[in-house]
């Protein structure tokens, strides 16, 4: 088989697997399939949903009722859902949020699912994708806030995720009071990883507010936790990353760089936002140390490997647009400025670029 044909076949198989993979793994095509984080997928009829769990009546030789903690649910493939639903989830995971929103909307109109929770799930998909899009496009924030505020009142397994996203949006709006309220509410979730993340989010607010000692105290508390499971380990690494942010704010880029290198070496490759933020701050440290070429390489990693993290990607493009000329590649700077303006026309980083002339 020719190389190009092989690549096309691989892409087609990847798309098909994203749509039907979970059901095939379970061996049950006539049931909901719950994809779990760090555990075996479960198939059956979703009989109950709440803020803290999804209850499933399994099918097969031995029927049983399984309760899955809400923070372990990655996604649910619903019986009778439209084909666009699986594609929308794939687009959502890859950071193609406009396509994801369109896919979720088509899935709602084309769904044949008899479970009313299926529609709520797709509606959350629209709200989440809109929120993530808004983090790099401030004009979208009011619409995203409305969607999530409307959603968070439901007794739904995505409740705490919606609350955390609201905190992110309020932070982007510089509304620290509402962001604090949201992140504190997120910390009332019953799982340790959520409590850890609540602290790192509150630390970000302290950092924005210039309260470096308070931020460091929260970050150190999380970094010092004993972590079990991938979600807790990721939050522990967020604590380390936060400590590096504080060191950078205190004009100690060499010390911050050492911490960031540890985070990058240890982080799970699937933690896209964590990697994007770590490489972004690595670039900042190297830039502060006068190592422009190395800084370019760090920002390029965000651009080439972790562009799905839209907010970090926009910032990386901004930094690259300023650095390319310093390393003797002004034409790359022009190209990067054009990409930033075209990809993120409403981003704060595009505004800064235009303000700088």
279 and 302 share one domain? yes
Q: What's the pLDDT score for residue 191?
A: 97
Residue 199, domain member (yes or no): yes
Q: What's the pLDDT score for residue 60?
A: 74
Residue 15: pLDDT over 60: no
Residue 162, domain member (yes or no): no
Residue 113, domain member (yes or no): no
The model's confidence at residue 59, banded by pLDDT at 50, 70 and 90, is: confident
Distance CA 182, CA 163 (A): 6
227 and 278 share one domain? no
Digit-coded pLDDT (tens) for 221-261 = 999 999 998 899 999 999 999 999 999 999 999 999 999 99
Number of domains in the chain: 2
Residue 212, domain member (yes or no): yes
Residue ending a domain, among 268, 298, 316, is 268
277 and 352 share one domain? yes
238 and 282 share one domain? no
Residue 356: pLDDT over 90: no
352 and 319 share one domain? yes
Residue 107, domain member (yes or no): no
Residue 84, domain member (yes or no): no
Residue 325, domain member (yes or no): yes
352 and 274 share one domain? yes
Digit-coded pLDDT (tens) for 122-141 = 999 999 999 999 999 999 99
Residue ending a domain, among 268, 302, 335, is 268
225 and 257 share one domain? yes
Q: What is the mean pLDDT of the chain?
A: 90
Locate 340 and state its tokens. Answer: 């930033």
* Domain range for 205: 193-268
Residue 34, domain member (yes or no): no
CATH number reported for the structural domain that contains residue 352 in this entry: 1.25.40
242 and 322 share one domain? no
**Percent of the chain with pLDDT strictly greater than 70:** 92
- If you average pLDDT over residues 193-208, what whole number do you get? 97
Residue ending a domain, among 238, 268, 298, is 268
326 and 244 share one domain? no
């Amino acid at each position: 088989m020719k190389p190009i044909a092989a690549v096309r076949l691989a892409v087609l198989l990847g798309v098909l697997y994203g749509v039907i993979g979970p059901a095939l793994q379970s061996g049950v095509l006539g049931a909901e399939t719950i994809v779990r984080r760090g555990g075996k997928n479960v198939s059956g009829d979703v009989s109950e949903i709440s803020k803290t769990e999804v209850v499933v009546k399994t099918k097969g030789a031995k029927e049983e009722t399984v309760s899955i903690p809400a923070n372990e649910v990655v996604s649910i493939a619903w019986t009778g859902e439209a084909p666009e639903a699986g594609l929308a989830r794939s687009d959502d995971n890859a950071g193609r949020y406009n396509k994801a929103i369109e896919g979720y909307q088509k899935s709602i109109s084309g769904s044949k699912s008899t479970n009313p929770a299926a529609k709520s799930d797709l509606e959350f998909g629209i709200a989440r994708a809109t929120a993530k899009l808004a983090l790099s496009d401030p004009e979208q924030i009011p619409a995203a806030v409305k969607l999530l505020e409307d959603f968070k009142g439901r007794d739904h397994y995505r409740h705490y995720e919606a609350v955390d996203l609201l905190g992110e949006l309020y932070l982007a709006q510089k509304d620290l009071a509402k962001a604090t309220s949201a992140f504190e509410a997120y910390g009332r979730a019953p799982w340790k990883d959520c409590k850890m993340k609540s602290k790192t989010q509150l630390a970000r607010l302290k950092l924005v507010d210039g309260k470096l000692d308070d931020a460091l105290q929260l970050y150190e508390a999380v970094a010092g936790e004993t972590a079990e499971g991938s979600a807790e380990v990721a939050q522990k690494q967020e604590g380390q990353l936060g400590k590096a942010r504080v060191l950078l704010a205190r004009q100690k880029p060499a010390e911050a760089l050492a911490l960031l290198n540890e985070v990058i070496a240890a982080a799970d490759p699937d933690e896209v936002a964590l990697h994007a933020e770590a490489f972004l701050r690595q670039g900042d440290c190297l830039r502060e140390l006068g190592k422009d070429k190395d800084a370019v390489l760090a920002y390029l990693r965000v651009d080439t490997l972790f562009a799905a993290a839209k907010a970090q990607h926009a910032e990386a493009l901004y930094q690259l647009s300023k650095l390319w000329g310093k390393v003797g590649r002004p034409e790359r700077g022009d190209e990067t400025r054009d990409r930033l303006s075209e990809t993120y026309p409403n981003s704060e980083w595009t505004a800064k670029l235009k303000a700088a002339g």
